[in-house]
Amino acid sequence: MQTNRYGFSRRILHWVVALSTLGVLAIGMLFFFLDVEGTQKWFGENNTSLFLKYHESFGIVILIGAYLILRLRRCNGVPAYDPPQSLLVRLVGKIVHWLTLVALIVMPILGVLAVAFKGKPVQFFKWNLPGTSFLGTHESWATTLFHYHSQIGLVVLGLVFLHLLGVYVHGRIAHDNVNSRMSLI
């Protein structure tokens, strides 16, 4: 039995956040390149509304999941590498993981604030989140926050690429068992 794996619930949480992040980034790229109006033109108003709803909903899932991962890392630590990894590999891994966690917390918060300052409710699947209307409408703040939200999205895209590059290196080049630490099987 491999003893250097994360617990099953932690691995499930990782994959929920990972898959949600990929979906949210895909929808976010639509809005980044086409804007809302362009997305409506290409996909129709109903589909664009669905994209927005799922982007916001899974953004909240990512925020909660990233926060839980951060808490679990702090409370439970991380399993030791077996075999041990070099200082450089551990350092790069830690930097990518911490930057990703911080970005996955900051980005949804900026998105929620931007939507709220736009004067719209933040959608969480069937529900509108309470408490976002007290901020009032501030169009310039909303624009600024959306800008930073999208810029952090590009950073997350780069971090996902680095993470996947690490997965590839560990699995196909180093042939160590690092990937099995977070594997569901």
Residue 22: other Cβ atoms inside 10 A: 12
Per-residue model confidence (pLDDT) at position 80:
87
The β-bridge partners of 124 are 127
pLDDT band, very low/low/confident/very high, at 160 (cuts 50, 70, 90): very high
How far from 84 is each of 81, 90, 177, CA to CA, in Å?
5, 9, 10
Evaluate if residue 132 carries a pLDDT over 70: no
Task: Say what the pTM is.
Answer: 0.92
Evaluate if residue 1 carries a pLDDT over 60: no
Answer for the pair 111, 62: CB distance below 8 angstroms, yes or no: no
pLDDT higher at 27 or 79: 27
> How is the chain split into domains, by residue range?
8-181
pLDDT higher at 110 or 76: 110
Answer for the pair 145, 110: CB distance below 8 angstroms, yes or no: yes
Pick the closest to residue 22 from 134, 113, 104 (CA basis): 104
Second-level CATH architecture of 8-181: Up-down Bundle (1.20)
Per-residue model confidence (pLDDT) at position 83:
85
